[in-house]
Amino acid sequence: MNKTELIAYLMNEANLTKVQATAAVDAFIEGVVSTLKKGDKVTIPGFGVFSVKERAARDGINPLTKEKIKIKASKSAGFKPSKTLKDALN
């Protein structure tokens, strides 16, 4: 499901207009992104937890040249599904 399909789903299931559904999806995304930027978690009971994962700097190897390279520390978004979501998929 992509963003357009999610908007269409919300239009049908929640009886929203396209403008309302688009605003809801955009607001959700903005809320998650701004919360993660602050370093906080977003917890949605029955669905899961969005959080920031930090990766330490490390040494790597360029697979083409076999040369050692330094990989900088970085942050990425992570998602851990809730037990309810895991059980729904099994």
pLDDT tens-digit readout, 18-64: 999 999 999 999 999 999 999 999 999 999 999 999 999 999 999 99
CA angle, corner 37, sides to 22 and 78, nearest 5? 80
- Domain co-membership, 45 together with 72: yes
Inter-residue contact 73 to 57 (CB < 8 Å)? yes
* Cα–Cα distance measured from residue 56 to residue 43, given in angstroms and rounded to the nearest whole number: 25
Q: How many domains does the chain have?
A: 2
Pair 45, 14 in one domain: no
Domain that holds residue 50: 41-82
Band of pLDDT at residue 9, cut at 50, 70 and 90: very high
Q: What angle do CA 13, 34, 21 make, to 5 degrees?
A: 20
16 near 24, Cβ under 8 Å?
yes
Asked whether residue 60 falls in the same domain as residue 50, the answer is yes
